[in-house]
Amino acid sequence: MTMLRMASRTDCSDKEAAIIRISAILLAFLFAAFFIALLGHNPLSVYSSMIEGAFGTVYRIKETIIKAIPLIITSLGISLAFKLKFWNIGAEGQIMMGAIGATFCALTLKDVPPYILLPLMGAGSIICGGIWGAIPAFFRAKFKTNETIFTLMMNYISLKFLTYLQYGPWKDPEALGFPKIQGFAQNAILPTLFGIHIGWIISLILIVIMYSFINHTKIGYEINVVGESENTARYAGINVKAIIIYTIFLSGGLCGLAGMIEVSGVDKTLSVEITHGVGYTAIITSWLSSLRAPVIAIVCILFAALVQSGTFIQMAFQIPQSAAQILQGMILFFVLGSEFFIRYKLSYIRKKKVEEL
C-alpha cells in the first residue's frame, strides 16, 4: 500500500509559485470547458468569442477598461491590507462610504468649478473609506478583534446607510417619488481622455505609487516587517498598532477612491448598486496577483474581460451570464487550492516505509 506524505516546504521559489498558479487557472478553464460542453456548446468557440467580446472592438476594449479601473484601485487597497495579514473583506463597504463622501461633496457644492470640486470629492472619498477601514483596524490593534468578521459586518452597515440616504434625505424630489439620488451636475463628473474617464490615468499613477511605496519607502518597509512577523517588528521598535491603523486607513481610503471614480466617472450618480460586487472580486484579484502592484493591473484587466465577455456570450450563445461567473468561481477555487501545493510538498511512500516510521 502506498500513502501520501505531506510535508511543509519553504523552498518554493516565485517562479515555481507562478507556474503552479498559472496551471491552476488553465485547469479551471479546462473544467469550465466540460461544463460548457454540457450546455451543448463548443467550448473552444465560446472561449474565442469571449476574447472577442472583451477585446474585439474599440468599444468593447473601452468597456473592459472601465470595468477594470475600480477593480484595480480596490485591489491595490486590499493588497495593502493583505500585506499586513489584515484580512480586509470590507472593501465593498469602503467603496460605498467613499462614494457617499464624494456624493456629499457633489450635492452640496453645486457651484464650485470642477478643478476644485473633483479633488474635494476625491479627498472626501478617501477620508470616508479610510475611516471605515480604520475603525476595525483600531479594534484589531487595541483589542485583537477578528478583522474578517468586523470588516464584513461593516459592509452591511454601509449598505443600509446608503439605502437610507437613497430612500430618505438624498432622494431626488424631481424623480416623481422614484427612490433615486439626483444625477451629478457637469462640474462633478470626471473628464474623459481617449473616450474613457480619467480614472484609468489615476489607476496607472496609483500602481506606480503603490509599487514604490511598498518597495522603496520606510513605511512600506515597516508594513512588510509587521506583516511578516509582528514580534520582529516590536523587537525593531516599530509601533505595530499605529502601523496597522495607518495602513488600513490607506487601504480603505483607496477603496473609497474607487467609489468616487465610479460615481463620478461611470454612474454619474449614487445608488445602492454602486459597487457591482467589485469589493469582493478585488479580494480574488489581489490574491491572484500575489499582492504585487504591477501584476494587479494585468489580473484586473483579465478579470474585467471575463465579466465583459460574460455579457457578450450571453447574447451570442444564449448562455446565461452565470456561466462566466462559474468560470470565475472555478478560477478562484483552483488558485486557492493551488496554494496548498505552494506551501506543501506531496510525496508517495510505501507501506513498508510507513511501518518503519
Partner 1 sequence: MVNISKSFNNVEANKNITFCVNYGEIYALLGENGAGKSTLVNILSGVYRPDSGEIYVHGEKKRFGDPRDSINSGIGMIYQHFKLIENMTATENIILGQKLGHIINKKKLRKTIIDISEKYGFKVDPDKYIFDMSVGEKQNVEILKVLYRSADILILDEPTAVLTPQETEKLFKILLKMKEQGCAVILITHKLQEVMDISDRITILRNGEVVDTVQTSETNQKDLTAMMIGKSIDLSIERHPILEKEVILEIKNLCLVDRDGVKRLDNISFQVRSGEIFGIAGIAGSGQKELCESIQGLERRKKGQILFKGEDIARLTTREIFERGLRISFIPEDRLGMGLVPTMDIVDNVIMKDYYLQKGIFLDRQPARIRSEYIVKILNILTPGINYPVNRLSGGNIQKVLLGRELDSNPDFLITAYPTRGLDIGSSRRIYNELNRQKMKGIGILYVGEDLNVLLNLCDRIMVLSQGKVMGIVDASRMTNEKLGFMMLGGKE
Residue ranges in contact with partner 1 by CB under 8 A: 10-11, 216-222, 224-225, 228-229, 231-232, 234-237, 357
Closest approach, Cβ 13 to partner 1, in A, equals: 10
Closest approach, Cβ 234 to partner 1, in A, equals: 6
Contact 73, 250 (CB under 8 A): no
Rg of the chain on CA atoms, in Å: 22
The torsion of the CA quartet 32, 33, 39, 44, rounded to 10 degrees, works out to 140
Closest approach, Cβ 230 to partner 1, in A, equals: 10
Closest approach, Cβ 268 to partner 1, in A, equals: 36
Extract the C-alpha cell encoding 176.
Answer: 416623481
The torsion angles phi and psi of 113, rounded to 5 degrees, stand at -65, 150
> Distance (Å, rounded) from C-alpha 326 to C-alpha 107?
39
Closest approach, Cβ 15 to partner 1, in A, equals: 14
Extract the C-alpha cell encoding 170.
Answer: 438624498
Closest approach, Cβ 334 to partner 1, in A, equals: 25
Q: Which is nearer to partner 1, 218 or 352 (CB)?
A: 218
Closest approach, Cβ 315 to partner 1, in A, equals: 47
* β-bridge pairing 344-350 and 196-197: unpaired
Q: Which is nearer to partner 1, 40 or 237 (CB)?
A: 237
- Provide the residue type at 119 as one letter: P
> Distance (Å, rounded) from C-alpha 251 to C-alpha 51?
32
Q: Which is nearer to partner 1, 193 or 236 (CB)?
A: 236
Q: Which is nearer to partner 1, 15 or 218 (CB)?
A: 218
Contact 101, 125 (CB under 8 A): yes
Q: Which is nearer to partner 1, 229 or 322 (CB)?
A: 229
Q: Which is nearer to partner 1, 39 or 228 (CB)?
A: 228
292: alpha, beta or left? (left if phi > 0; alpha if psi -120 to 50): beta
Contact 205, 311 (CB under 8 A): no
Q: Which is nearer to partner 1, 225 or 260 (CB)?
A: 225
The torsion of the CA quartet 334, 340, 345, 346, rounded to 10 degrees, works out to -60
Number of Cβ atoms within 10 Å of the Cβ of 174: 9
Q: Which is nearer to partner 1, 116 or 219 (CB)?
A: 219
Q: Of 300, 226, 312, whose CA–CA distance to 258 is shortest? A: 300
Closest approach, Cβ 297 to partner 1, in A, equals: 23
- Provide the residue type at 157 as one letter: I
Contact 64, 305 (CB under 8 A): yes
